[in-house]
Structure 1
Amino acid sequence: MTLSHYQWTIDHYHQAIDAGCFDEQPVELLKGEIILMSPERESHAYHNSECADYLKELLRNRAKVRDAKPITLPNNSEPVPDIAIVKPLGVEYLKHHPYPDDIYWLIEFAQATLKKDLTDKKAIYAEAGIKEYWVVNLQNSELNIFRDLDDSYYRTQLTLVTGNIIPLEFPDIVISIEKLL
């Protein structure tokens, strides 16, 4: 007997959410599989919240900083990144979550999920065309930056512990790495 599993589409996933199938469990859809999300510890919650506030101050009305909200990707994925910096499309987001063309960059804070964020999620985001992806490694107090997307692969991978970084989409904005760590 061959064992196979059901591959979810975004439409079926939304129908299951609407029907209450997940009993308000924190889940996300990654490449057609429903994944139970890890609970947040204090460090993760603190850094996520502080970083979101910092980015909101820096970017003001130039971008929307979405904190732990879903994005919709074409590879049957609807992950919930810790922070998504997206185009400020207002009520358009009543119709759909941000698509890859709406996203400037994504940030994940990783402690227990470090391996998944640096492998699985990085591959999913690259395949979907996310131009820039940051992983704040809370274990080692470092920022991993993935950018320069080429054929579903990030050509540039940086690991920083101090200094400043400039997001690709906002060359006039300087972000202090110390504020993220």
Structure 2
Amino acid sequence: MFQTAKLSVKDYQQIVETGIFGDRRIELIEGNLIEVSPETPYHANCNNKIYKYFLTLFNSLADVRSAHPVSLSNSEPQPDLVLAKLPDTLYDTRHPNPEDIYLLIEISYSTLSYDLNEKKQVYAKSNIQEYWVIDLENNRLFIFRYPQGEDYQNKLELNTGLVSCLAFPNVKLEVNRLKN
């Protein structure tokens, strides 16, 4: 019987450093190499607008990171947006790990099922306290909080209004600014 070999995060990082993937968008998810779909202009522009919005709100409170890897126990995804602990020099020699992360956001245009299932499970198992999915196609925001096992105890879906992340309850975000 044949088995698929799983990569560790360390093995994956060593492979990435060789440059063998070139410009291919590859993530390590649960020890497996996953090729990520190319980013559409719409997705990229939405990501850029949300990144700029987060910079205005969180610049002195958190390290706002856009489309960069985070290191989890057996995965190294590249979420669309991350709020991580300061100072940003913490990440000169490593990517943020779960203890550094306040909030992870995936912006979904063609990957909603993947973001709401596989990615959510990976983040919950890694004890990421808060995970948001921005569903561009259906104009909604999914908020997942308080991980337990492979899922989150608290789930919320918003279309409008104001929302705050757990780490910064006094910072109010307009849901409509996240969806377009």
Q: TM-score range by the shorter chain?
A: over 0.9
Q: What TM-score comes out, normalization by structure 2 length? A: 0.96
- The 2-side partners of 1:151 and 1:115 are apart by 19
Aligned to 2:142: 144
1:110-149 aligned within 5 A: 110-149=108-147
Does residue 1:34 correspond to 2:33, yes or no? yes
Aligned Cα root-mean-square deviation (Å): 1.1
- The 2-side partners of 1:72 and 1:150 are apart by 19
Identity fraction in percent: 37
Aligned to 1:90: 88
Q: Unmatched 5+ residue regions in structure 1? A: none
- The 2-side partners of 1:126 and 1:65 are apart by 21
**Which structure 1 residue ranges, 4+ long, deviate > 6 Å from structure 2?**
none
- The 1-side partners of 2:149 and 2:113 are apart by 22
Q: Which amino acid aligns with 1:52?
A: Y
- The 2-side partners of 1:150 and 1:5 are apart by 28
| Displacement of 1:25 | 1.1
Aligned to 1:8: 7
The alignment covers a number of residue pairs equal to 179
Deviations 1:105-134 (A, max 9, x none): 011010111110000000000000000000
1:40-79 aligned within 5 A: 40-74=39-73, 76-79=74-77
| Displacement of 1:152 | 4.2
Q: Unmatched 5+ residue regions in structure 2? A: none
Q: Which amino acid aligns with 1:175?
A: L
Give SS of 1:174's match: strand
> Structure 1 stretch 14-23 or stretch 28-37: which is displaced more?
14-23
